[in-house]
Structure 1
């Protein structure tokens, strides 16, 4: 009996931590509810919002992007010294910073992290370092690197940029070229700094395979404590954090996984969790009614889209042998291109925006690939595809859609022939169902077969773009970065963010031009010109520009929302 009572006491005590946000010891516990587990607590190895929430407080980067979109030093002492026509960078890091295990931060850790992010086979963030070469240590706290591009005239016949596996090798075959967004990229979570000594030791003793799963070491304001797979990840306050100006009174953060969206909302309304994100608009209305606080991003930080796999013979462009056609010119009269266009005209995004079960009017119909971002946003639609649409119903024109579709060969009209990947249980699944139904009604054939998969599988599919696996994808992307057009549409970007695998030489010329220019009107014009060409080829159908929506209990203060929609928690305060 006493044993039973003891077990009940432990269970009740654990429940009190989640329900009350504090323990018997008086420590302040913040509970963050998330609909999925993070994938891996290792910056360059994965990119998703639940993982971002943890990595933002576990790790630091050289630079930080504030909620207002302003770059400021983080581990760096100051903004970099940029010389030689914008191609040489010198960066100094702060002294006295320690990793969670007590090891001091030095420039060796930074260079190690750069190499790992750039060349590790599992890195999802190689694009951050795609133009870097000659990364060199000056002293314990100073480094230099250069930016440039692969120069085939310097390389042996047949050599490709992807053959180069170190920054030193790149130095032999790169020519200098400026990259206006290089510093911005160093604020990305994929540029988080790891402890070189610890990682190298783990590689020899066999524990590296568990890094980011059972242990992790950063420099952030909170450090790894435990991960109960499928249930929760616990971080504890770092008492040795280098920035003593932070205002947080929280001792422990528990990231609680509650997969059922309804159960997650209920847990918040019952005050079992303090914060939740990716709140669907319909739930936001109910949360506001019951006294919760709604937090949103500043401006339309991203958009939802229907993506076409440009490696697919059904909606992309392939060679006679079925391999992807990478010659840089799309035949816009080909049946696959016409099918993309028919689908575009069959979709009315207003049904998504106005649906109380999806956006509940907390978004806008978008005709292009960004709405808030200043670099690349088309402000004059004349002479572009945007002339064919409007901000009420997008490009919706069912009559035109049917005319185009009816003229296609019979092989493009088979029911269920287009495989559409979506994240299971997500708002994208609901959007895909709307798109599927609209296409069926407009074209007279139920073309789309929806496949619901887990988050990790979505990432794998976006990265590989295997035409045997998917033709379409409904997903979202953030557009907070000043070189977003490059991230999503550069033909040489190998990251999962470039999921359609679009490559068009004419657009690439403008993308390369925009990449090389500093922020300003010329850069804006270059990216605008690129987007005009991209919209014509149509690798993605823009659906909805949206704000990120999160919810907070009224006693929580100091939570900021990053431009990517993740929580920034280092200054979080939990009042009684």
Structure 2
């Protein structure tokens, strides 16, 4: 079989960080020390193959690993795989694994673990990966260090599904033949990553310690990491200000506190490390009832919303208005689409044309803190100025999930991750096949357009990047006319950290897999 090589790295090249900086640059300085970080809220467990919420990925991403990492441009980089090839027809991918890798309990990592992880454990337990593996016909171990994925049809974004949160490697010798959901290792995880699980004091902290047999020479550069659990937002800000913690991950403190804390001596912040996730916010619009089923009404909402004011007032500048369904950090983004500037007069005109009769709409805010509360207040004011009556229905996180799961809402806030490629993180929100109760992150609005379905399928299955681009350019134009949801912002989550910590973000998924390469001066 003729193959096109995608990446072949020598042993020397593998010793580079994601940023291309030789590791000896970091290891030449002081090595060791402890990083104190926050995790909010406390993870339900640390098995990232079962639970993919943010807190679990933050902690467990430094315990487990995927075959690949991703840089800030979402390009694949080596991790447990050192090289990979793709066949000319785009249907067979072959990965060469790094030799000499061991699990934290000393057992060798091999191709059998990869096959078990992807084809058995994760197909059963990881809903998002299960959908991404729909294109995969077989996964087999060619030998102990080689794995072959054979696809039923080309799947353009295939190389984007191998990061630690999307396809974590789990130990076959621990999970095979067990109840995956109740295996005790879910609470005492064993991975191949740079840090090993040490202790979890519920409601207080999770401690990881350096893996002294890690497969990358000279890593990790610190001895231990504590992830502190601090439920109260004000207490989290105080913990950072007092020096109890060194790192406040994105979203762990309120934005008004970020501005204040970032000015403290010896403190820095960055919005890097979210490129792979590309957080994108919008307003769900329930198409199942009037007036939301009318496209002119939905377009009126887009004109009524003042995204610039929201970004400035609620997000304090840590968000920028979205131009449509694609975050500008993901592949095939285009801003050559219909624009919806804040225009109250146009909103009123379209409302009249839509036949809106003054019904009161239920608005479901996102219960994630002060920023989202302020945004809901601004939105309510915007819509009322345009003539739309709004009643806010406050809930907790569980209630928010339940209402969206059951489609019990009129308008509702959300934000989702887009995972670097529209086939991985965008299509699920607009394709007809993803209309199903039980998830707050699929096609919750109930939008259906056969042409959009066709274009998303074409974009996912074309092997030629230009054909993918053409399909996604068309789909963006259609969606901006149909307005299935009211797009709001590209969110920038700032990470606060002490200046004494260097290289704290060194991949496209940020702290979730960067802490091995961070050092303390």
1:416-441 per-residue CA deviation (whole Å, 9 max, x = no partner) reads: x4251513425333322321232233
1:375 corresponds to:
331
Residue correspondence of structure 1 range 137-536 to structure 2 within 5 A: 137-148=141-152, 177-187=153-163, 189-200=165-176, 202-203=178-179, 207-208=182-183, 210-212=184-186, 214-248=187-221, 250-278=222-250, 280-291=254-265, 292-297=267-272, 302-308=278-284, 312-313=288-289, 334-335=293-294, 337-355=295-313, 358-373=314-329, 375-381=331-337, 385-386=338-339, 389=340, 394=341, 396-406=342-352, 413-415=358-360, 417-425=361-369, 427-454=371-398, 465-468=405-408, 470-479=409-418, 481-483=420-422, 484-492=425-433, 497-500=441-444, 502-518=447-463, 520-536=465-481
Q: Is the 8 A contact 2:286 2:411 kept in 1?
A: no
1:347/1:196 CA distance change after superposition, 3 Å:
same
1:519/1:52 CA distance change after superposition, 3 Å:
farther
Question: TM-score scaled by structure 2?
Answer: 0.83
1:42 corresponds to:
47
Q: Is the 8 A contact 2:318 2:494 kept in 1?
A: no
Name the SS for the 2:315 alignment partner: coil
Q: Is the 8 A contact 2:67 2:78 kept in 1?
A: yes
Q: Post-superposition shift, 1:98?
A: 1.3
Q: Is the 8 A contact 2:283 2:488 kept in 1?
A: no
Q: How far apart are the structure 1 equivalents of 2:290 and 2:201?
A: 43
Q: How far apart are the structure 1 equivalents of 2:121 and 2:462?
A: 24
Aligned pairs, number = 480
Q: How far apart are the structure 2 equivalents of 1:374 and 1:27?
A: 36
Q: Could you tell me which runs of 5 or more consecutive residues in structure 2 were left unpaired when the two chains were aligned.
A: 1-30
Q: How far apart are the structure 1 equivalents of 2:235 and 2:510?
A: 22
Q: How far apart are the structure 1 equivalents of 2:258 and 2:116?
A: 43
Q: Is the 8 A contact 2:323 2:335 kept in 1?
A: no
Q: Is the 8 A contact 2:303 2:343 kept in 1?
A: yes
Question: TM-score scaled by structure 1?
Answer: 0.75
1:556 corresponds to:
501
Return 237-246 or 110-119, whichever deviates more.
110-119
1:185/1:497 CA distance change after superposition, 3 Å:
farther
Name the SS for the 1:475 alignment partner: strand
Q: How far apart are the structure 1 equivalents of 2:403 and 2:91?
A: 34
Q: How far apart are the structure 1 equivalents of 2:351 and 2:185?
A: 50
Q: Post-superposition shift, 1:195?
A: 0.6
1:9 corresponds to:
none
Q: Post-superposition shift, 1:188?
A: 5.0
Give yes or no for the alignment of 1:123 onto 2:127.
yes
Q: Is the 8 A contact 2:304 2:386 kept in 1?
A: yes
1:283/1:114 CA distance change after superposition, 3 Å:
same
1:36-68 per-residue CA deviation (whole Å, 9 max, x = no partner) reads: 112332223333332221122111111111234
1:284/1:180 CA distance change after superposition, 3 Å:
same
Q: Could you tell me which runs of 5 or more consecutive residues in structure 1 were left unpaired when the two chains were aligned.
A: 1-25, 149-176, 317-333
Q: Post-superposition shift, 1:137?
A: 2.6
Q: Post-superposition shift, 1:486?
A: 3.2
Q: Is the 8 A contact 1:237 1:252 kept in 2?
A: yes
1:132/1:413 CA distance change after superposition, 3 Å:
farther
Give yes or no for the alignment of 1:54 onto 2:26.
no
Q: Post-superposition shift, 1:459?
A: 6.0
Q: Is the 8 A contact 1:49 1:566 kept in 2?
A: no
Return 233-242 or 111-120, whichever deviates more.
111-120
Name the SS for the 1:130 alignment partner: helix
1:200-248 per-residue CA deviation (whole Å, 9 max, x = no partner) reads: 25439x951x543x22121111122222333322212211211124251
Q: How far apart are the structure 1 equivalents of 2:248 and 2:47?
A: 22
Q: Is the 8 A contact 2:274 2:508 kept in 1?
A: no
Q: Post-superposition shift, 1:400?
A: 3.2
Q: How far apart are the structure 1 equivalents of 2:411 and 2:185?
A: 33
1:340/1:540 CA distance change after superposition, 3 Å:
same
2:14 corresponds to:
none
**Cα RMSD (Å):** 3.0
Q: For 1:569, which of 508, 515, 519 is the aligned residue?
A: 515
1:107 corresponds to:
111
Larger radius of gyration between Structure 1 and Structure 2: 1
